[in-house]
Structure 1
Amino acid sequence: MIKIYHNPRCSKSRQGLAILEASGKSFETIKYLENNLTSVELQDIIIKLGIKPIDLIRKNEAIWKSEYKGKSLTDNEIIAAMVNHPKLIERPIVINDDKAVIGRPPEAIKDII
Structure 2
Amino acid sequence: MIKVLHNNVCSKSRSILEHLDENNVAFEIIDFVENPLTAMELKTVLKKLHMPASEVVRKNEPLYKEKFASQELSEDEWIAVLLENPSLIQRPILIKGEIAMIGRPIENVKFFIDN
Identity score, percent? 42
The Cα of 1:26 is off from its aligned counterpart by 1.7
Would the aligned equivalents of 1:93 and 1:103 in 2 still touch at CA under 8 Å? yes
Does the CA-based 8 Å contact 1:6-1:29 persist in structure 2? yes
The residue type equivalent to 1:90 in the other structure is Q
Indicate conservation of the 8 Å contact 1:12/1:106, yes or no: no
Structure 1: gaps of 5 or more residues? none
Cα distance, 1:47 vs. partner?
A: 0.7
Gaps of 5+ in 2: none
* Aligned-pair Cα RMSD in Å: 1.2
List per-residue Cα deviations over 1:40-79 (Å, max 9, x = no partner): 1111111111112111000111211122111110001001
Secondary structure of the residue aligned to 2:51 is coil
Instruction: Name the amino acid aligned to 1:18.
Output: E
Residue 104 of structure 2 corresponds to: 104
| SS of 1:112 mapped into structure 2 | helix
Q: Report the TM-score when normalising by structure 1.
A: 0.93
Aligned equivalents of 1:4, 1:73: Cα separation in 2: 27
Query: CA offsets per residue over residues 24-50 of structure 1, 9 Å max, x none?
Result: 132100111100011111111111111
- Greater than 6 Å deviation, 4+ residue runs: none
Residue number in structure 1 paired with 2:82: 82
The TM-score, its normalising length taken from structure 2, stands at 0.91
**Number of equivalenced pairs:** 113
